[in-house]
Structure 1
């Protein structure tokens, strides 16, 4: 019998398990994960950016958790000797029409407590990034890069050192609550626990329903494909270069992301994934696909953004179209500079009326606490999300 079982060995699940053991050392804890390694999906397929908290609505859970979580993550990396670099971020307006939104974003970042923000003109942009063209920009010096797989592996080591278990190859199929305990049915047997914390990412909605939660919001998977800048041209971009968000569109748009290994990722786009773990265009899971397209919220979303969807799909198959979007920021890029890169799948929560769920969503059903929505910046925020989740159970756990 365990006190707590954490479902999911991504960054949020591992950070939560570590937080539990730090605050309640006597807790009998296990992390269960269906894959054979930690950080197998969203946590291991992201761009590696430590976000500063610039984008998010002031007062939202995302805004609070990102600013606090970034500071905690940087301290954790320093304590554990995990390499990271604060290379900063330029959010670039490429035409005058974007300036009002850029200024609004600047005010939002200040309201969120993001440190060191500056507004730059064209000459100051070129001083920081000679190849980048823009009319105005925000400079965010506290944005960084890290290998989140290294972070996940360090968190897993902390859990084992503190006496917790990590059980890989355990696919959770059902929950049965009763008599003050939960029976968790997995592909490798049944585990009994007093409480469960479910951090299941791409399958968060299914496991929420399995434990008595409602059907909404549902997860719709969106695949993001990256190109990689040809190594001889990686000098063109030294910092993160991002577009000004457009509220008319559901996703951020392509950007430039330097990596710790010296490479530069370009992208991603955002297209419907035909499988929740479909990292290639040819990956299809008919159950996943039918569940997505039959959900009323997705159909409303698709009708609202069909033009944007077609544009994203075209860019997914046309390197030249992808290049044109990148050339808005770095005009000297050429088609041969773009090499095929990795892909990731984003677990996007969508409501029944077709709204993208923008904030983190945490829910409790009896003795089970669920993370129903944790897209970016969840990796940056994982240590702070962990604190919030553990707070939810703190009064129920043994203190000695």
Structure 2
């Protein structure tokens, strides 16, 4: 079967070249084995998997997904709130607004049809002081402009009837928000991609690329061969892959990868920022204090330390926003971030949480997990939109960059994939 044979040949060549490394000198690639490919997706997070599935199912493309980790979804895709967002927070006609609203609809439909665990439990965004009420009104306006269904403003006493443990002055009810088992969702998308011929190459890293006479050339190495890299010398590829199409879905490493693409218009590469967010779980309670998602007014760099529930009823609080200073390309490229959750963060969490949940008891928070958000704006800067770049922007034929895909990336994943395939159909 031709759909499999090309991809399998690529992987066999890569394995052979890793066992027999070739010489490498700056500006010369003749001694490195080359293979051609149809479509390459870089990154097996939820967006990368969704894009690969769409390319294979709707375009009939022969797709190879290259992932540096040993399996799929190990980065931002598995370190988030697992919330299906409604599309409230984002400016009208922004990519985040359009993709979130459409992606939510697609995700609910897909999860229902494929029996992916999910629940449409609804969300309350709360104002706990008079100064926050205008901001809540703005969110209501934005949500309506974006086409979010069923939004309703309510007084604090109405919200308290829905959630007796909640304290607020006003609340915005979003009944279409929900939660999902993100691993099951990714696994289902991945299975469909593989059924349609997509090959997933794990523990394989795209370390850069260059523009050649035959199009874009990707520099690829086996991930373990990079473990002893001194982070100073030029990385040596084991294989050069020449695809007709490349979709950069590398998430935390997407911008670092752009910088390693020789021939790209460097003026089109945004400055990267990274925000670390910790989660704590609620312990010492027999029954969950809330039945809905509870969100405060958004803060600088995020949407506030909120209440989420998983499908087993476990209550989580988070994430906070901790800007990472001095993160270099190496850290982002190889995901060398610190994911520990210091226990002393619990005190800061408690003070924020008690603004809307005053009954929170001391010692009730246990460290959970942390995630890193790939952002295109820094502290004190206005929030930015998703960035999708094609040849007309960066100058390299056949390359599509997906940059700054943070929240609501999970919700937007299927809509982003649809956008990519629609763009290629024009």
TM range (shorter): 0.7 to 0.9
TM-score by length of 1: 0.85
Q: Is the contact made by 2:343 and 2:367 (CA closer than 8 Å) also made in structure 1?
A: no
Alignment gaps of 5+ in structure 2 = 1-35, 223-238, 391-395
The worse-fitting range, judged by mean Cα deviation, of 357-366 and 32-41 is 357-366
> Which of 105, 111, 121 is the matching residue for 1:71?
105
Q: Is the contact made by 2:67 and 2:204 (CA closer than 8 Å) also made in structure 1?
A: yes
Query: Could you tell me how far 1:394 is from its partner in structure 2?
Result: 2.6
Displaced runs of 4 or more, over 6 A: none
Pair 1:358 & 2:389 matched: no
The worse-fitting range, judged by mean Cα deviation, of 176-185 and 382-391 is 176-185
Query: Could you tell me how far 1:178 is from its partner in structure 2?
Result: 2.6
Q: Deviations over 1:20-52 (max 9, x none)?
A: 112112x21111100111001000111100000
CA distance in 2, matches of 1:238, 1:225: 22
Q: Which has the higher helix share?
A: 1
Distance 1:195 1:29, change over 3 A: same
Q: Secondary structure at the match of 2:288?
A: helix
Query: Could you tell me how far 1:159 is from its partner in structure 2?
Result: 0.9
After TM superposition, list the pairs within 5 Å mapping 1:108-187 onto structure 2.
108-187=142-221
Query: Could you tell me how far 1:107 is from its partner in structure 2?
Result: 1.0
Query: Could you tell me how far 1:152 is from its partner in structure 2?
Result: 1.2
Alignment gaps of 5+ in structure 1 = 283-314, 396-400
Query: Could you tell me how far 1:261 is from its partner in structure 2?
Result: 2.0
Distance 1:111 1:334, change over 3 A: same
> Which of 256, 260, 266 is the matching residue for 1:214?
266
CA distance in 2, matches of 1:80, 1:340: 33
Greater Rg by CA? 2
Distance 1:263 1:128, change over 3 A: same
Q: Is the contact made by 1:181 and 1:195 (CA closer than 8 Å) also made in structure 2?
A: no
Pair 1:345 & 2:372 matched: yes
CA distance in 2, matches of 1:213, 1:49: 36
The worse-fitting range, judged by mean Cα deviation, of 76-85 and 211-220 is 211-220
TM-score by length of 2: 0.80
Q: Secondary structure at the match of 2:266?
A: coil
Q: Is the contact made by 1:204 and 1:219 (CA closer than 8 Å) also made in structure 2?
A: no
* Partner residue, 1:369: 400
> Which of 202, 206, 226 is the matching residue for 2:252?
202
Query: Could you tell me how far 1:139 is from its partner in structure 2?
Result: 0.4
Q: Deviations over 1:368-389 (max 9, x none)?
A: 1100211100110000111112
Aligned residues: 359
* Partner residue, 1:285: none
Q: Is the contact made by 1:89 and 1:240 (CA closer than 8 Å) also made in structure 2?
A: yes
Q: Secondary structure at the match of 1:187?
A: strand
CA distance in 2, matches of 1:382, 1:280: 24
After TM superposition, list the pairs within 5 Å mapping 1:1-400 onto structure 2.
1-25=36-60, 27-188=61-222, 189-211=239-261, 212-214=264-266, 216-230=269-283, 232-246=285-299, 249-273=300-324, 275-276=331-332, 277=335, 278-281=337-340, 317-350=344-377, 355=381, 358-364=384-390, 365-395=396-426
CA distance in 2, matches of 1:136, 1:76: 34
CA distance in 1, matches of 2:59, 2:302: 39
Q: Is the contact made by 1:233 and 1:337 (CA closer than 8 Å) also made in structure 2?
A: no
Query: Could you tell me how far 1:350 is from its partner in structure 2?
Result: 3.2
CA distance in 1, matches of 2:59, 2:303: 39
CA distance in 2, matches of 1:79, 1:180: 42
